[in-house]
């Protein structure tokens, strides 16, 4: 059996499906230009983000070695003020104990903020009486039933430990700096 071939002229208007719709650009169009000639939507979003956040992204950033980059001339010599012998002589030596104390100070600040948050959830005098008895050794942490009071007691103990460490590190740093000063004075006297 042979299939009957259809001639295009014989097919008349076929109704269009109601689900068929014209696809449009979600950003609109420009009269007289095809949508293909317009910038891609992703490119437009990138340009807008760059326009809004460009000044923030252009701010200088500290490198992994800290500070600013040195100015170097064509011969590789450091020509800025920080490369001079005078600056190197007056620049103090890095103090590990002082650095650790500063980091612990930041940690202490965080603990105190958490402590303030927990403190706002607790009623007044009874809480502080329980903490006083805990500090005096009359009761133990296991005897505290309220979780917020227990959290506050632990945070207070943690803040106290951090404060003691900071004081010890500062004393150690001061002793080291004082010993270095004495050694320099002895060298000058000789």
Q: Going from the first residue of the chain to its last (190 residues), give the mean pLDDT of each consecutive group of 10, the final group possibly shorter.
A: 54 64 65 72 84 84 57 66 64 83 92 87 78 84 83 89 95 90 82
* The pLDDT of residue 66: 54
Q: Which two tokens stand for residue 109?
A: 């600040």
Position 60 in a domain = no
Position 155 in a domain = yes
Structural domain for 183, as ranges: 95-189
Query: What distance in Å separates the CA atoms of residue 53 and residue 58, rounded to the nearest whole number?
Result: 9
Position 1 in a domain = no
Our count of domains for the chain comes to 1
Position 75 in a domain = no
Q: CA angle, corner 185, sides to 184 and 189, nearest 5?
A: 120
Q: Which two tokens stand for residue 30?
A: 């420009």
Q: What is the pTM of this model?
A: 0.51
Query: What distance in Å separates the CA atoms of residue 122 and residue 156, rounded to the nearest whole number?
Result: 14
Position 154 in a domain = yes
Q: Which residues sit opposite 78 in a β-bridge? A: 72
Under DSSP, the state recorded for 78 is B
Query: What distance in Å separates the CA atoms of residue 187 and residue 181, rounded to the nearest whole number?
Result: 10
């Amino acid at each position: 059996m042979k299939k009957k071939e259809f001639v295009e002229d014989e097919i008349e208007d076929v109704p269009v499906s109601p689900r068929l719709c014209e696809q449009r650009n979600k950003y609109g169009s420009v009269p007289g230009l095809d949508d293909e000639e317009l910038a891609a939507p992703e490119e437009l979003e990138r340009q807008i983000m760059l326009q809004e956040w460009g000044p923030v992204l252009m701010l200088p950033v500290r490198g992994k070695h800290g500070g600013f980059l040195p100015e170097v001339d064509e011969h590789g010599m450091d020509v800025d003020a920080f490369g001079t012998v005078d600056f190197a002589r007056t620049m103090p030596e890095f103090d590990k104990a002082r650095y650790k104390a500063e980091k612990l100070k930041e940690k202490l600040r965080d603990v105190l903020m958490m402590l303030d948050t927990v403190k706002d959830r607790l009623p007044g005098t009874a809480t502080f009486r329980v903490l006083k008895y805990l500090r005096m050794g009359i009761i133990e942490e296991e005897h505290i039933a309220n979780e917020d009071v227990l959290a506050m007691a632990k945070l207070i103990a943690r803040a106290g430990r951090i404060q003691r460490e900071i004081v010890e590190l500062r004393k150690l740093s001061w002793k080291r700096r004082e010993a270095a000063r004495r050694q320099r004075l002895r060298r000058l006297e000789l």
